[in-house]
């Protein structure tokens, strides 16, 4: 469940695994186009806010992770993170200097020199263990299971924290991360920041306009011929609604991610199309996106109302999310 919504978690995980894998491919090979249209946000990614300084960490601690397993963490001085939102949370808690390895979705400013331990979505157990971590933090999308099992068998604790597909669920992950590294007070501070800042953006979005634009989230990767339309439970739906819009896929009774077709676009009839920066680049910018079948016939296509946000931010549901949400509200308002 996400709030009161029924969604197919397995379907989302499969699509998000594809997203992460393709992101890794694009990091390695580059996009089809190196220049996005200037009408988009054009951001290369924003820094993670430091919310806590000098956090207190008390170890050892034993936690029950998202798989129901009891995991004891004795040392959190060398952390490998397998999810960008988890990494953001650690940085915001003042523990960024403890991150010694990362996955491909951890791409915000300041982590470029941290070694990658994934090839696309897949974890390399050998590469991970070579970094001598004291704890590994991931979620249900982290894998393959054999690699994580090898890490556990080596004696390194692996804590699986809850997946996040909505703003409402973000605080549970923060709490799980903070508990795993023995810093619950830092987690409380980060959650207070998230709740306060998201509430401010919701309030501002509600007061900005009486007309809610219908916004379609498209996940596109032209280099791999992947074109999907987000719907209920995609994660982007919650961001769009909190920013003052109506999610087009949800309005058209679509769940998760649906193959992009002229028929699906006609049913969604978006006023605005939202994409990720690298996806927009991969199809040749705004002109290339509008050239995809059916897009030019939508209100968004006719008016060229295309907005984009950095890949690592839109669905991270981490401490950068309040800023991303405020930016999205401005772009679609």
* pLDDT tens for each residue of 254-288: 888 999 999 999 999 999 999 999 999 999 999 99
18 pLDDT more than 60: no
pLDDT at 234: 94
- Please tell me the predicted confidence (pLDDT) of residue 16: 53
Judge if 61-194 and 210-332 fold alike in CATH terms: yes
Position 249 pLDDT exceeds 90: yes
Report the mean per-residue pLDDT for the chain.
Answer: 88
Tell me what pLDDT residue 209 has: 62
As its CATH architecture, domain 210-332 has 3-Layer(aba) Sandwich (3.40)
33-57 confidence digits (pLDDT tens): 322 332 333 334 799 999 999 999 9
List Cβ neighbours of 137 (8 Å cut-off, separation of 6 or more). Answer: 79, 80, 81, 82, 83, 86, 90, 158, 159, 161, 177, 180
Considering the domain 61-194, what is its CATH architecture? 3-Layer(aba) Sandwich (3.40)
Q: Give tens-digit pLDDT for 293-305.
A: 999 999 999 999 9
Q: Which two tokens stand for residue 173?
A: 């992950």
Tell me which long-range contacts 93-97 makes (C-beta under 8 A, separation of at least 24): 93/51, 93/52, 93/55, 93/177, 93/178, 93/181, 93/183, 93/186, 93/187, 93/189, 93/190, 94/50, 94/51, 94/52, 94/53, 94/54, 94/55, 94/186, 95/55, 95/57, 95/181, 95/183, 95/186, 96/48
Q: What is the pTM of this model?
A: 0.87
Convert the pLDDT of each residue in 175-231 to its tens digit: 999 999 999 999 999 999 999 999 999 998 887 766 899 999 999 999 999 999 999
- Tell me which DSSP letter residue 89 carries: H
| Distance, CA of 273 to CA of 183 (rounded, Å) | 40
Total Cβ atoms within 10 A of residue 266: 12
Q: What is the per-residue pLDDT across 91-133, written as a single tens digit (0 to 9) for each?
A: 999 999 999 999 988 989 999 999 999 987 799 999 999 999 9
- How far the first Cα of the chain sits from its last, in Å, is 29
* Per-domain boundaries in the chain: 61-194, 210-332
DSSP label at residue 246: E
3-state secondary structure of 259: strand
Question: Is the pLDDT reported for residue 158 higher than 60?
Answer: yes
Give the per-residue pLDDT at 255.
80
Confidence of residue 333 (pLDDT cuts 50, 70, 90): confident
* Cα 19 → chain centroid: 10
Q: Categorize the per-residue pLDDT at 19 as very low, low, confident or very high, splitting at 50, 70 and 90.
A: low
């Amino acid at each position: 469940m996400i709030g009161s919504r029924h969604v197919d978690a397995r379907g989302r995980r499969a699509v998000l695994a594809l997203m992460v894998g393709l992101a890794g491919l694009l990091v390695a090979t580059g996009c089809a186009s190196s220049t996005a249209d200037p009408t988009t946000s054009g951001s290369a990614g924003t820094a993670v806010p430091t919310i806590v300084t000098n956090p207190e960490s008390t170890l050892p601690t034993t936690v029950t992770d998202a798989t129901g397993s009891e995991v004891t963490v004795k040392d959190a001085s060398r952390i490998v993170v397998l999810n960008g939102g988890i990494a953001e949370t650690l940085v915001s808690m003042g523990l960024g200097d403890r991150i010694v390895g990362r996955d491909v979705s951890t791409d915000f400013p300041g982590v470029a020199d941290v070694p990658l331990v994934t090839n696309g979505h897949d974890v390399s157990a050998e590469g991970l263990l070579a970094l001598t971590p004291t704890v590994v933090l991931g979620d249900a999308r982290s894998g393959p299971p054999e690699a994580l099992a090898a890490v556990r068998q080596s004696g390194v604790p692996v804590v699986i924290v809850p997946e996040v597909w909505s703003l409402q669920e973000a605080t549970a992950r923060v709490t799980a991360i903070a508990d795993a590294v023995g810093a619950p007070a830092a987690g409380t501070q980060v959650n207070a920041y998230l709740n306060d800042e998201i509430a401010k953006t919701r309030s501002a979005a509600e007061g900005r306009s009486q007309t809610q634009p219908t916004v379609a989230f498209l996940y596109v990767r032209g280099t791999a011929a992947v074109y999907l339309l987000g719907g209920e439970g995609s994660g982007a739906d919650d961001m769009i609604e909190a920013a003052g819009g109506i999610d087009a896929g949800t309005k058209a009774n679509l769940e998760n991610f649906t193959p992009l077709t002229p028929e699906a676009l006609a049913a969604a009839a978006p006023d605005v199309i939202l994409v990720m920066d690298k996806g927009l680049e991969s199809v040749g910018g705004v002109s290339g996106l509008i050239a995809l079948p059916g897009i030019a016939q939508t209100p968004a296509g006719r008016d060229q109302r295309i907005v984009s946000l950095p890949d690592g931010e839109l669905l991270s549901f981490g401490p950068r999310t309040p800023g991303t949400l405020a930016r999205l509200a401005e772009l679609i308002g």
